[in-house]
Structure 1
Amino acid sequence: MRRRIGRKRKDRPARRGGGVALYVREQLECIELCLGMDEERVESLWVRMKGQANMGDTVVGVCYRPPDQEEEVNEAFYRQVEVASQSQALVLMGDLNHPDICWKGNTARHAQSRRFPKSTDETFLTQVVEEPTRRGVLLDLVLTNKEGLVGDVKAVLGLAEMELILPTAALMVLCCVLVASKVLITHQCFGCC
């Protein structure tokens, strides 16, 4: 039996290539969220997935942060994360281009990167990717505010940048971060896959 999948996407404004997309089974209730007045500058997409059975809703965000992103755009993204983190179940994933962050100690060499671990601490997010995802560094991140929501995260080299499997309750989400010719593919499978 084939399952229909709907797509949400946000292309880069005024630039060719890139953007973010989120693929969701059509039988699932999915609402795109607006998390701030300056969100058009941030390459992110946020949705609220309606919980199945006795599960609460889950907020899912996908993001691409260019390496040369301006500081005010970074701050707009941190404000989005702060709003999204009010959800009881949040998963944020994407290519955030902070290769100098050491997640074991929440430290970073560059000043611009130091703000991101501070933001994740303030919003009680845990980064769950443990192994490098590209060229020996950890660029592609998966963060959550709910223990047990994210399961095994595995890097799949050659096929895509990273594959994510999140086993819990009854939904499936497929997320892509499209950057030039790279594709980060992740999926969340909650019991119905």
Structure 2
Amino acid sequence: MDKEPTESLWVRIKGSAGAGDIIVGVCYRPPDQGDQADEAIYRQIGAASRSQALVLMGDFNHPDICWRDNTAEHRQPRSFPECVNDNLPFQVIEKPTRRGAMLDLVLTNKEGLVGNVKLKGSFDYSDHEMVEFKILRAVRRAHSKLTALDFSRADFGFFRDLLGRIPWDKVLEGREAQDSWLVFKGHLLQSQERCPEGTGG
């Protein structure tokens, strides 16, 4: 049985000692692509996602997909959102990339692997936004030191009071989801460090 061709390129970035490899894929899905070619892409994504870390980017031409809740207006034999949920649950593009539609995506199977995502305007004659982002180093597993918190000694009343003093409406106003999470996480860790107990293990 002949394999259905797909417009995709896959690269393995070798990690340094103690860090895993990263698979980077670039894909173009034509708007009129058939179900067999879609299924071929899904198989490629499934195989690549079994690696330690995967980043997939490209123009997938699915304007009918709402990425806030991973739903599509038109159901296919196996939907693209279903493939993404199974293999690449983190989609980091939050704004339209072409004429009000989010056609270009950056997907990954590891939270925190992709950061500093920016849309930089069109390049030359392209009518798509240019996407800039950083692929962060794969998490080192060797020689890592974990700090276990002793929550049995924590002063939760003081901790709750510290977080309650923060004007969250003003602090998070106008921020997107990823930025809001980083701000919240920063305040959470600062409050944790100020608590007299429960910060060591």
TM range (shorter): 0.5 to 0.7
Maintained 8 Å contact 1:58/1:88 = yes
How far off is 1:44 after superposition?
A: 0.4
TM-score scaled by structure 2? 0.61
1:124-143 residue CA offsets vs partner (Å, 9 max, x unmatched): 43111001111111000000
TM-score scaled by structure 1? 0.64
Structure-2 change in CA distance of 1:169 and 1:57 (3 Å): same
Maintained 8 Å contact 1:94/1:141 = yes
Structure-2 change in CA distance of 1:155 and 1:115 (3 Å): same
Between the aligned partners of 1:124 and 1:62, the Cα distance in structure 2 is 14
Between the aligned partners of 1:134 and 1:62, the Cα distance in structure 2 is 18
**2:161 counterpart residue number:** none
1:92 aligns with 2:56: yes
Between the aligned partners of 2:82 and 2:43, the Cα distance in structure 1 is 13
1:45 aligns with 2:9: yes
3-state SS of paired residue (2:30)? coil
Which has the larger share of helix?
A: 2
1:38-64 residue CA offsets vs partner (Å, 9 max, x unmatched): 666100011211112421000110000
**2:170 counterpart residue number:** none
Maintained 8 Å contact 1:100/1:108 = yes
Maintained 8 Å contact 1:107/1:114 = no
Runs of 4+ in structure 1 off by over 6 angstroms are none
Structure-2 change in CA distance of 1:111 and 1:167 (3 Å): closer
**1:165 counterpart residue number:** 133
- Residue type of the alignment partner of 1:51: G
The answer for unaligned runs of 5 or more in structure 1 is 1-36, 171-193
What number of residue pairs does the alignment pair up?
Answer: 134
Higher-Rg structure is 2
Among candidates 99, 103, 106, match of residue 142 of structure 1? 106
The answer for unaligned runs of 5 or more in structure 2 is 139-201
